[in-house]
Structure 1
Amino acid sequence: MKKSFIFLTFIVFLYSCQETDHFMRINTSFNSDWTFTKDSASLEWDSIHIPHTPQIEPLVVNDQWQGDAWYKKTFKKNPESKKTFLEFEGVMHEAWVWVNGYLLKHHQGGYLPFTLDLTDVLEAQNTIVIKVNNEDNPDIPPGKLLEQLDFNYYAGIYRNVNLIETNSVYITDPVAARKVNSGGILVHFDSISNKKAIAKVKVHFRNESAEDKSISAKIEFESPSGKILSKLTEAVEVSSNSDRVLSTEIDIENPELWGIHSPRLYRVSVKLMEGEKTLDIKQLTTGIRAIELSEDGFFLNGENLFINGTNRHQEYPYIGYAISDEANYRDAVKIKNAGFDFVRLSHYPQSEAFLDACDEVGLLVMNCISGWQFFGGEKFQENAYQEIKDFARRDRHHPSIVFWENSLNESPMTEEFMIKANLLLKAELPYKDTYSAGWIDHPSYDLYIPARQHAKAPGYWNDYDENARKIFIAEYGDWEYYAQNAGFNQTAFADLSEAERNSRQLRGAGEKRLLQQALNFQEAFNSNLKGEHTIGQANWLMFDYNRGYAFDIESSGISDIFRIPKFTYYFYKSQRSSAISYPEPLESGPMVFIANFWTPSSPLNVRVFSNTDEVALYLNDKLLSKQKPTRNKFSSELPQPPFEFELSEFEVGTLKAVGYIDGKEVALHEIKTPSEAKEIKLKIDTSGVEISKNQEDVVFLYAEITDKEGTLVPSFDGKIRFSIESESAELIGQNPIKAEAGIASILLKTKGDLDSVEVFAEGEGLESDRLILREELK
């Protein structure tokens, strides 16, 4: 799979022989060779690499570090460049930037980029110093005190830094330009059909040379299949030290449409021309898709779609937000593999790397400004308004984004704020397919996005007024069960403790609780499908995470914080049609999964998740039953209800499920009764995304504890110690660490120039294991 979001950073645009007297744009990663300290008076600064977090946190973060962090770097000026810019993709959440002693920028906001023009202060040798602060600040969204917040805002320069060098005539950055419905390259497609799409293109540029110029733009569209369309605009006169916009339309015949099953992407290249000379080249990737929100539902490329999705927090254990582009991509792969076609970016703008990944794997996106249960004063509101402008300008070319949540999540917004928020969004993106989303049912929003806990059981939002706007259930499956107000009278609820009926279950909570979590999500999913005016849903949530106010991990994720699936993950995976086929690294097609460990204490009501017609269950190769899906009041509306098998007794051995479609065997899963823990099996999780050869990267290492036959022992919770031999990689995390449900996890952080990496795992009474990284990746 092409990973344009990684490679574009490093593209150097070369020029032909007739253009050698003109400097061309160079984009360079500025992530390496930084130093860092928490004490600016210190004589000792640590060598670090961006992305960076000032503090390695414990696994359970109940006292997240806050304070000042200082970064410094020296670099040489390129004598050939005419203009030099520095782009910060994300700094949490207040930054002061000095270059050669000049304060160039004071920026507030931790989730969106900002760019500095360094040109006038550069010398032959330069020093940049940055002070970063993430202490509580009610003026900076989300604004709420960390100790009261439902997520964390981890410190540091945690996203990429990019050095951009251009000619004195250059295409601007869309965020830095601060132009309404302009800045940089703006592409929007109108009148989209299978036969034709009209691409409307704007190019905003500046002439900072000493001369007036006559400038045109050559615009080129390269289709996913390699077909190229190009058009040269008429030249415009632009005075010295001024800016202009070039606009044109391009008809694209028989467009290759972007969709959730075929995420086809176009590369757009824009050349600024002075006669025959190219002054600047800039590229972006986008897609052509038609979306419509109407009385009849949500339509993608003319097809009515009920959207099935999830929510995502961007944190990793220990390192917080400081994750690589590849790590962001792996999260997108995991979400798609779980059976979802949508992700809500709760509750803040996330990295462009993740959005690029969503574009490439076919995930619809609800883009969100930062907010949670807090509405601040005038300065806070100004910063929130700026977020709306900035995320629209940064993200407008992503075909994955279908809804813009310009709403402060669960916050008491004023009517004035909501009206202005929507006016700002529509000014930036004045198109009929720009759909705003708000958690308050206000007419200024196109889509109403309540969580299930915002209504009463048992109906929740199924009886919503048919004359009102469409509903998207933004969160479900968690809080209503945590608060015990589900109202569905689940059969087992009377016999369950508060902890047992909760959807918040760690992966090591045991079969009974993991099955209850799966049933809770299933029941709420099934209920959501009864809402006539509900166009989709996003469960809460994909991955476990830490919160500022809590002393435990929020564990309603369908995968744990290390991205290891729980039973519920496979329930969702089974809801995707078996007929769908995706290329690697994505998973698709028929599947079957036995949600059981098959030990003497395991439930004899065996639940099997599958997207097949029938499932046959065998015990030690003896057929127990062959059944259709089990439809009941908890599964009446589901695309694919689970299969439930009632067994009379436990017998040591192998439980095997075989899935059939049209009478043919298409999927198989088997589990074995584990015996005594004997061995460790090391695995690395790349999710099909190769470890970066250019930048630092971070991946999960798993030590699976097995018996002598290689069967996972889910009851094992002993300590595992990891060690490493490498000059280009390190381990991050609690070490030794107790295994959870038979798996111990740690982070492996790598440098771009990897040498041989050997990782070891050992535990008392267990046969240790060794993993050689390069061999593993071949």
Structure 2
Amino acid sequence: MEFNRRKALTIGTVGVATAALPAPGAVSAGEVAAAPAGPATETLLLTGADADHTVDWDFQVTSGRRAGEWATIPTPSNWECHGFGSYHYGGDLVPAEKGNYRHSFTPPASWAGRRNFLVFEAAMTDADVRVNGVSAGPVHQGGFYRFRYDVTALLRLGEANLLEVTVSKESADNSVNDAERRGDFWNFGGIFRPVSLVSYPAARIDRVAIDARADGTFAARVTLAGVTAAARLTAQLRRLDGTAVVGAFSVAVASGATSATVTTTAAQPLLWTAETPNLHQVELTLASSGGVSWHSTVERFGFRTIEVRTGDGVYVNGRRIVLKGANRHTFWPTLGRASSPRLARLDIGLMKDMNMNAVRMSHYPPDAYFLDLCDELGLYVLDELTGWQHHYDEGVGAPLVEALVERDVNHPSILFWDNGNEGGWNTALDDDFAQYDPQRRAVLHPWTTFSGVDTSHYQTYSSTASKAAGPAIFMPTEFLHGLYDGGAGAGLNDYWKLMGGSQRSAGGFIWALVDESV
């Protein structure tokens, strides 16, 4: 369910190919983006790139403000923030409220013979998608996750196509509503992250999962598709300035293969930590056995090793770390959950100005560019499957774990996966994370002890003293509640001295970074 967003060839709105452009936040000023060695992934944005750069789509909401009226709405966005529908907080569900979207687009005629996917970075909450009047596939359920449809057979290349999307603010699956819509946070509706068409060569690198350790060992587990003859997968490691780290390395690929793994070892690579956010990239090329390039892509990563040493602490690259963090919702008072790299950078800058080194994604995976910026600027991350005291059923939850991990697996900033929050975890999903993560990062159950880490929330001063002296690693994923009530800072110095003096304290995450008001 992943597509490579690092160095995709971007097609402008007039259908003209431009130079290889990174997605927002993927490459910082001064970095050198390596040109792909062979045919690249090509992307046609259908919405704007983010909430600061939008494209108007035709839109109608079925209830609330302006119900039944066809108008236009900037996308990506939440429709409540543009005068449509109704604002809702917490468990106030309105199942009837839906948004109908229409948009015309023209895919390049040069995409003939390629595999073409319609990719949604997220939509709240159920999305029913049609291309030229034909269903693109099953209704997607889950409001914070990337999903895609193979629309190769539905597109009319080189001419106008019609995309229609019905977004239901509440889900037809009650467990999705339990996990996402009955929490202690705002419920919005709409296509609030970008939508794009992504085109691959017929034989392609579909996704990449990297395990790069502090000792220099490197492995990339590569998912392939469309390989109809013997081939070879070649890799090259570089720093972001283009300097090669090791020589090229490769592996043979049999006809019909759907995966391959390439490995190497780099001598004393620059390591990634929040204090030294050194990044690397791997250039991957799938080619015929005769050397004809079929598809090339570039993925960014960092060399680092994470350890949870039972009864001791959390270690990165062999050094014990203490997380000084905040819980962060993706939120802006005039935009809801629609965001941009500019706003993400503001939040990260605020956290770092306050000497924080960590952030917990509460209570859902963020925009991909937020994680890009955490990689670049240096913040440790807890990435979270949605759940607030209720969880997804396994049938709907398993594909969402897959979507979460496949999208985010290569971010060195991510230390842990959170399986829901405060009882909102489905234990049947605990072992799913490792299926897609070759690093096998620990899974947490925020609010309780799991994976050797006690993450208990909102302990009193005396119970914090007991926890800090206990046998488990103590790292509250929420403490000193300060949302709306302004109380968080009042006792922080006392709590922090107590936690900082504990042999097994791994820090903690204050609730929350900002008040969330529209």
Q: Is 1:428 aligned with 2:436?
A: yes
CA offset digits 1:165-211 (Å, max 9, x no partner): 12111121xxxxxxxxxxx1121124x23xxx011012211117xxx
Native 8 Å contact 2:6 2:299 kept in 1: no
Q: 2:191 aligns with which of 135, 139, 157?
A: 157
> Separation in 2 of the partners of 1:186 and 1:291?
16
Paired position in structure 2 for 1:472: 475
What is the CA-CA distance between 1:224 and the residue it aligns to? 3.8
Higher relative contact order (CA 8 A, sep 6+): 2
What is aligned with 2:265?
Answer: 251
Relative to structure 1, the CA distance from residue 251 to residue 412 in structure 2 (aligned partners, 3 Å threshold; closer, same or farther) is closer
Residue 438 (structure 1) aligned with residue 445 (structure 2): yes
**Which residues of structure 2 form unaligned runs of 5+?**
11-17, 22-37, 48-54
The CA deviation at 1:354 is 0.8
SS state at 1:238 partner: coil
Question: TM-score, normalised on structure 1?
Answer: 0.56
Write the distance in 2 (CA, Å) between the matches of 1:470 and 1:143: 30
2:109 counterpart letter in structure 1: P
Structure 2 counterpart SS, 1:522: helix
Q: In the alignment, is the contact (CA less than 8 A) between 1:138 and 1:144 conserved in 2?
A: no
TM-score, normalization by structure 2: 0.82
User: Which residue of the partner structure matches residue 278 of structure 2?
Assistant: 264
Sequence identity (%)? 22
**Which amino acid letter does the alignment assign opposite residue 98 of structure 1?**
R
Deviation at 1:399, TM superposition (A): 0.3
Structure 1 position 528, deviation (Å)? 2.7
How far apart are 1:311 and its partner, in Å? 0.6
User: What is aligned with 2:291?
Assistant: 276
**Residue 533 of structure 1: CA displacement?**
2.5
Distance 1:244 1:25, change over 3 A: same
Residues 42 and 365 of structure 1: CA distance in aligned 2, closer, same or farther (over 3 Å): closer
How many residues were matched structurally?
Answer: 469
Residue 372 (structure 2) aligns with: 356
Distance change >3 Å, CA 360–CA 230, structure 1 → 2: same
Q: CA deviation at 1:80?
A: 1.8
Matched with 1:409 is 421
Separation of aligned partners in 2, 1:536 and 1:9: 41
Q: Distance in 2 between matches of 1:262 and 1:329?
A: 18
* Pairing partner for 2:404 from 391, 397, 411: 391
Residues 629-668 of structure 1 correspond to what in structure 2 (within 5 A)? none
CA distance 1:230–1:25, change in 2 (3 Å): farther
Distance 1:57 1:446, change over 3 A: farther
> Which residue pairs with 2:169 in the alignment?
134
- Note if contact 1:189-1:198 (Cα within 8 Å) is conserved in structure 2: yes
TM-superposition CA deviations, 1:645-696 (whole Å, max 9, x none): xxxxxxxxxxxxxxxxxxxxxxxxxxxxxxxxxxxxxxxxxxxxxxxxxxxx
Cα 1:332–1:299 change in 2 (3 A) is same
Please state if 1:104 is matched with 2:128. no
Q: Which amino acid aligns with 1:159?
A: R
Q: CA deviation at 1:296?
A: 2.8
Q: Deviations over 1:545-573 (max 9, x none)?
A: 14xxxxxxxxxxxxxx8xxxxxxxxxxxx
Which residue identity is paired with 2:258? Answer: R
Query: Structure 1 residue aligned with 2:200, among 156, 166, 176?
Result: 166
Amino acid at match of 2:443: S
Q: Does 1:288 align with 2:294?
A: no
Q: Secondary structure at the match of 1:462?
A: helix
Residue 9 and residue 141 in structure 1: after superposition, are their counterparts in 2 closer, same or farther (change >3 A)?
farther
Partner of 2:14: none
Aligned residue in 2 for 1:564: none
Distance 1:140 1:322 in 2: 24
Q: How far apart in 1 are the matches of 2:495 and 2:461? A: 10
Note the alpha carbon deviations across 1:38-82, whole angstroms, 9 max, x for none: 159999643343212212279x96668951111111122322212
Kept in 2, the 8 Å contact 1:265–1:285? The answer is: yes
Maintained 8 Å contact 2:88/2:187: no
CA distance in structure 2 between the aligned counterparts of 1:77 and 1:288, rounded to whole angstroms: 38
Alpha-carbon separation, structure 2, partners of 1:372 and 1:383: 16
Which one of 233, 236, 243 corresponds to residue 253 of structure 2? 236
Q: 2:507 aligns to what?
A: 536
- Matches of 1:144 and 1:235, distance apart in 2: 44
Q: Aligned in 2, Cα 1:61/1:108: closer, same or farther, shift over 3 Å? A: closer
Cα 1:430–1:371, aligned 2, differ >3 Å: closer, same or farther?
same
Give the whole-Å Cα distance in 2 for the aligned partners of 1:328 and 1:53: 17
What letter is aligned with 1:285? R
- Structure 2 SS opposite 1:56: helix
1:538 and 1:372, CA in 2 relative to 1: closer, same or farther beyond 3 A?
same
Say if 2:126 and 2:168, in contact at 8 Å, map to a contact too. yes
Shift of 1:421: 2.4
Question: Equivalent residue for 2:147?
Answer: 114
